[in-house]
Structures are given as C-alpha cells and as structure tokens.
C-alpha cells in the first residue's frame, strides 16, 4: 500500500497532478472520514425519508380532515423551500432556540449538532417528496382490489400494510429511485453547516493544497460511483420485487 501512496507523490512531483488525499496520511484520513460521513448521512436520510413517506401517504388517506391538512402543510413547507435554506433555518434558527446541554469541555452546547440537523432536515425534505410519490402509487392500486380486501374483512391498517403498500411499492420504485438519488446528491449541501462530509473535506484539502481542479475531478467521480452503487442496488431490488403479470 505504501508503494501506491508513494507512486502518487512521485506523480505530483513529476507531472504536477496533485492528489494529496492519496499520499498524505492526514489528508487521506480526512477524505476517508468524509466518505464515511457522506455514506452515513445518506443511509440515515434514506431510511427516515422512506419511513416519513410511507407514514405520510397513509395519513393522507385518513378520514380525519385535520390529519390530511397537517400532512399537506408539511409537504408544502418542505417541498416548496430550498433545502439549503432549510438547513440554515434548522441549524441557526431552531438550533439556537432549543435548550442547551452541558458538554464535556465545560461549556453549553445545543442538543443537536450539525450532523443531527442535517439528518433531520434532509430526511424531512426528501420525505415530503416521498409522501407524494407513495400517494401516486397508492392511487394506482385499483379500487376494486381494496374493495375485495374490505369484503374479506381486512381492517384499514391491514389493507394498507398487506395489500395497498406492497402493490404501490412496485409502482413507485422508479420515481422513488429518482428522489433517493437526488437525496444522496443533496447531502453535499450539509457542508454549509460544517458537516464533515466529502465535499467539505475536499474543500479543506483544496484550500490547503491549491489543487482545485484535481479535487473537482475526484469529487465528480466519487459521487458518480457512490450514486451508481445506490442505483444498481435499487434496480436489483426492483427486479427482485417484480410480480409476473403486474405493472
């Protein structure tokens, strides 16, 4: 491994192509940390945004007027405002209003740090889109199917969980894919509130080494591969869930 690192140092000396995150241990460690933070943030947001989508779509079909209104206000609020503004809003506006806790260095710090706010904000942001995506799937399930389930004595929750949702899921997967791909890319915005993800670490490295071009090329490729892995996973899932004769 050392030899590979040294090769990149030589590459820099010989050609001027500077990739310090490969040969410099400090820069390498922070780039790896950045990669893992991006993956962690993406996974957390993917998980919660899908949960929000599923629950939101279910609540939207509720027979209570106020529940439906609440969900629609949530969607309007989070879908119609830029995610960067939401991040700043949560971190700088809401974050400072919440009570503070004693931290281990003897000061007072807010309950949620920048990573937590990024996870919350981006989950809600993508969740708002997911609610609409799931709704489109639910509405695509034929009414007769639901009626048949009702006739068989299924409860409302059972119908949603066992009949509507599994069918809806297959319909919405392509649209869901799109939104989740977007979500992974949107995690780069978290660097505005100093979440040490890939873009943030790359920015630190290019500021220290003045190698903007190389870092930009690397970032583009890194996200291309990262999102590529997600897409291929989702496609595989889509194929595995396929029901012959449906959709």
Partner 1 sequence: MKIKTLAATLVVSALSISAATADILDTIKERGTLIVGTKADYKPYGFLDTSGAVIGIEPDLAKDVADKLGVDIEFVPVVSSNRMQFLEQGKIDLMIATMTDKPDRREVVLIPDPNYYSSGTNVLAPKSLGLKEWEDLRGKPVCGIQGAFYNKATSQTYGAEIVAFKGTAEAYSALKGGNCAAFVYDDSAIVAKAAEPEWADYEMPLQTIDDAPWGLAVALGEENFAQMMSDMIIEWHKTGRILELETKWGVTNTPFAKAMHDKYK
Residues of the shown chain interacting with partner 1 in the complex, contacts defined by CB under 8 A: 26, 92, 95-96, 100, 103, 105-110, 113-114, 192-194, 200, 203-204, 206-210, 212
Output 141 or 205, the one with its CB closest to partner 1. Answer: 205
Q: CB–CB of 172/137 below 8 Å? A: yes
Name which of 24 and 56 has its Cβ closer to partner 1.
Answer: 24
User: Shortest gap between Cβ of 105 and partner 1 (angstroms)?
Assistant: 5
The least CB distance from residue 34 to partner 1, in Å, is 12
Q: Nearest-CA neighbor of 175 among 129, 133, 233, 232?
A: 133
Distance between CA atoms of residues 215 and 218, nearest Å = 5
Q: Which is nearer to partner 1, 106 or 142 (CB)?
A: 106
Cα–Cα distance for residue pair 1/4, rounded to 1 Å = 5
- Give the shortest CB-208-to-partner 1 separation in angstroms: 5
Minimum CB separation from partner 1 for residue 2, in Å?
21
Q: Which CB atom, from 210 or from 243, has the smaller least distance to partner 1? A: 210
Q: How far is the CB of 181 from partner 1 (least distance, A)?
A: 26
Minimum CB distance to partner 1 smaller for 134 or for 200? 200
Q: Which is nearer to partner 1, 167 or 199 (CB)?
A: 199
DSSP for the chain, please give it: -HHHHHHHHHHHHHH----HHHH-HHHHHHHHHHHHHHHHHHHHHHHHHHHHHHHHHHHHT-S-HHHHHHHHHHHHHHHSS-HHHHHHIIIIIIHHHSPEEE-TTSSEEESS-HHHHHHHHHHHHHHHHHHHHHHHHHHHS-HHHHHHHHHTT--HHHIIIIIIHHHHHHHHHHHHHHHHHHHHHHGGGGGGGT---HHHHHHHHHHHH--HHHHHHHHHHHHHHHHHHHHHHHHHHHHHTPPTT--
75 vs 119 by CB, closer to partner 1: 119
Query: In the bound complex, what is the minimum distance in angstroms from residue 77's beta carbon to partner 1?
Result: 23
Q: Name the minimum Å distance from CB 160 to partner 1.
A: 41
């Amino acid at each position: 491994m050392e030899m590979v690192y040294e090769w990149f140092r030589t590459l820099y000396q010989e050609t001027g192509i500077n990739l310090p995150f490969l040969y410099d241990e400090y820069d390498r460690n922070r780039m790896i940390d950045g990669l893992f933070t991006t993956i962690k943030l993406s996974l957390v947001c993917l998980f919660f945004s899908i949960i929000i989508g599923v629950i939101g779509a279910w609540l939207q079909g509720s027979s209570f007027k106020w529940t439906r209104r609440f969900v629609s206000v949530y969607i309007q609020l989070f879908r119609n405002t830029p995610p960067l503004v939401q991040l700043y809003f949560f971190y700088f506006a809401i974050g400072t209003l919440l009570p503070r806790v004693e931290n281990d260095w003897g000061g007072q710090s807010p309950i949620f740090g920048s990573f937590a706010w990024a996870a919350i904000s981006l989950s809600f942001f993508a969740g708002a889109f997911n609610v609409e995506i799931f709704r489109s799937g639910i509405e695509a399930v034929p009414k007769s199917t639901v009626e048949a389930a009702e006739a068989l004595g299924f409860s409302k929750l059972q119908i949603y969980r066992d009949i509507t949702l599994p069918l809806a899921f297959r319909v919405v997967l392509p649209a869901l894919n799109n939104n989740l791909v977007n979500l992974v890319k949107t995690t780069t915005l978290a660097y505005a509130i100093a979440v040490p993800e890939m873009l943030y670490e790359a920015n630190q490295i290019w500021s220290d080494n003045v190698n903007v071009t190389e870092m930009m090329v690397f970032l583009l490729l890194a996200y291309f591969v990262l999102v590529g892995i997600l897409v291929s996973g989702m496609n595989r899932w889509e194929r595995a869930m396929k029901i012959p004769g449906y959709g």
